[in-house]
Amino acid sequence: MHSNDLPDDDCFALRQASRHISKLYERHLSEAGITPTQFSVLKTLSRCTNLTMAELAKAMVMDRTTLVRALKPLLRRGLVVAPAEPQSNRRLRVVLTRRGITKLDEAAAHWATAQASFERSFGPQQAAHLRSELFRMTSYLSER
């Protein structure tokens, strides 16, 4: 089956594009020893400190169980911590560690290479427009 066999299937088109782009970023980020999802988690935590698991899951547009699977290797490697809360009724928070900041800095160079490669092949203006439209779509759909 070819992609043009399903010309009106938005879901198929998005998933197919996502897989192709993800492979590009996976190839580059693997040199830093992390996945694109892990990079996004570290990046999100660097921008929004001290998030609860629920807040991080919402920011990443992931369900909590998927987020937990992505966090486990980061926790094991000491890139993030989930410090014990003094009161048991408080929500679990996730915090980027110094080691996590160092890994994020290392990975950012590989991410930039992947980004530049995508923009070279797709076109910088088209990539910017695509990003803008995808974020607009995500924002629109999350409001519903």
For the chain, the average pLDDT equals 89
Per the structure, the count of domains in the chain is 1
Between CA 75 and CA 94 the distance in angstroms is 9
Q: What is the CATH number of the domain that holds 81?
A: 1.10.10.10
Between 3-7, 114-118, 137-141, the lowest mean confidence (pLDDT) is in 3-7
Residue 144, CA atoms < 13 Å, CB-side half-sphere: 6
What does the pLDDT read at residue 3?
57
Between CA 95 and CA 42 the distance in angstroms is 9
In a domain, 134, yes or no: yes
Between 58-62, 86-90, 110-114, the lowest mean confidence (pLDDT) is in 86-90
- At residue 64, does pLDDT exceed 70? yes
- At residue 86, does pLDDT exceed 70? no
More confident residue, 141 or 77: 77
Domain region containing 101: 19-142
In a domain, 70, yes or no: yes
- What predicted TM-score, i.e. pTM, was given to this entire model? 0.85
In a domain, 14, yes or no: no
Measure Cα distances from 16 to 8, 12, 96, 102 in Å.
Answer: 13, 6, 32, 32
- At residue 90, does pLDDT exceed 80? no
Between CA 18 and CA 33 the distance in angstroms is 21
Rounded CA Rg of the chain: 17
